[in-house]
Amino acid sequence: MSNETITQAVSERYARAAATGEQICCPTGYNFEDLRTFVPEEVLKVSYGCGTPAGLDTVRAGETVLDIGSGGGIDCFEASRRVGPTGRVVGIDMTDEMLAIARRNAPIAAANLGYASSNVEFRKGMAEAMPVEDGSIDLIISNCVINLAPEKRKVFHEMFRVLRPGGRFTISDIVSEHPVPNYLNHDVEKWGNCLSGALQLGDYVSGMIEAGFLGIHQIRSIPWQEIDGIHFLSITLTGYKLPAAVEPNGVRFATLRGPFSQVVDELGQRYQRGVPQAVNARTVQLLKTPPFEPLFLLSETPLALEPSDARWLAVLPEQVPCVWRGDYAMLTGPFTEVEDDDHHVFRRGSPLEICSKTLKVLESDLYRRHFAMINRAAGEISGSQVACSPTGGCC
């Protein structure tokens, strides 16, 4: 099936939804009561995302926000409220019917916010070739849309192109735990349902890294659907376009605090908890981004940590029997590989079966943000307890 066929089918599906109000695609989580205070009802009826984009929580007044796949404009209008009248919002969409709804309601939303004129502009275009100027955007948002694009790596490269150095993205999308097979990939109807175009989580993130992004990490994830044994998840990711120029900052060493015993960062540097590691200026730049910063101590001279130090982070597993219940954990970032205190090695995007004891560790506050969880069990599990060796690792 050609890319043109997919694009046309998706566009027709959303045009039909705009005309009929059909509810399609992703799980929703909007606060419609709040949005109704300034967003027209016509827009609310054609909103299909996973909820108000989490990235808007980080937006600052005066910034420029880009929404990929803006649809009827709901996320653009919320972005408009948050950037304020001095900010700017650009929405791009390929469907004429959606663009008409968004443009018709832009002045109404602006008036409801008390703005003299709208600060939102809607442009027709494809995610793989965005009609947006180089280096003009502070924050990119996208709400359950990129999975609909046939050439996602082009989308990621376009995102990197239009972001300013130091800019960021926060996007919600549907991903899968395993590659989507051909019989689903060629199902036109399931493309419109955000299924056939879903990338495996590992491929999704590797495409972003290939485009130049770093510091990619999970904001939230929830299981969504299972079809023919393939689990699909709704996941929200944030990443950064770091400035190309790296200024000397005096930092020469980084010490991993935890909670992992060992990690590998996105530049290929390996760290062992408590052991100072020599780093260059580019690595320091990465480790100062929000997902890494709380997990490291940066210093001019080597700084070692002992388990008795209050800065040491660990969640030790209970030395009790455990049960296999069909749980799998997928590392989502910001590291490419990690090892826990029970010697499990997790690689980003690859599901690893875990027992009940490990599940309890990964659900703790220090670990939860780094993993997406699925359960493959078809029904209630009656497996017996198994012994976990205190010295030989879990199970």
* Cβ atoms 355, 376 nearer than 8 A: no
Based on the domain organization, do 204 and 176 belong to the same domain? yes
pLDDT mean over 105-131: 97
Q: What is the Rg, in whole angstroms, of the alpha carbon atoms belonging to the chain?
A: 22
pLDDT of residue 6 exceeding 50: no
Name the domain boundary from 218, 240, 262: 240
The CATH number that applies at residue 366 is 3.40.5.100
**Residue-wise pLDDT tens digits, 138-168:** 999 998 889 888 899 999 999 999 999 999 9
Based on the domain organization, do 202 and 80 belong to the same domain? yes
Name the domain boundary from 257, 289, 314: 314
pLDDT of residue 3 exceeding 60: no
Beta bridge partners of 271: 263
* Residue 337 parent element (H or E): strand 337-339
Name the domain boundary from 180, 209, 240: 240
Based on the domain organization, do 175 and 229 belong to the same domain? yes
Based on the domain organization, do 207 and 309 belong to the same domain? no
pLDDT confidence band for 374 (50 / 70 / 90): very high
Neighbours of 4 (CB within 10 A): 9
* Cβ atoms 162, 135 nearer than 8 A: yes
Measured CA to CA, the distance from residue 118 to residue 157 in angstroms comes to 29
Based on the domain organization, do 381 and 392 belong to the same domain? yes
The CATH number that applies at residue 108 is 3.40.50.150
**Residue-wise pLDDT tens digits, 168-183:** 999 999 898 888 877 7
* Cβ atoms 328, 375 nearer than 8 A: yes
- In the prediction, which pLDDT does 46 show? 82
pLDDT mean over 379-393: 55
Residues 6+ apart with CB under 8 A from 201: 175, 176, 177, 233, 235, 330, 332, 348, 349, 372
Based on the domain organization, do 14 and 43 belong to the same domain? yes
Based on the domain organization, do 114 and 223 belong to the same domain? yes
The CATH number that applies at residue 289 is 3.40.5
Based on the domain organization, do 43 and 189 belong to the same domain? yes
Mean per-residue pLDDT of the chain: 88
Based on the domain organization, do 150 and 38 belong to the same domain? yes
DSSP string covering 40-95, please? -HHHHTT--SSSS-GGGGG--TT-EEEEES-TTSHHHHHHHHHH-TTSEEEEEES-
Where in the sequence is the domain holding 193, given as residue range(s)? 3-240
Based on the domain organization, do 270 and 329 belong to the same domain? no
When divided into structural domains, the chain yields a total of 3
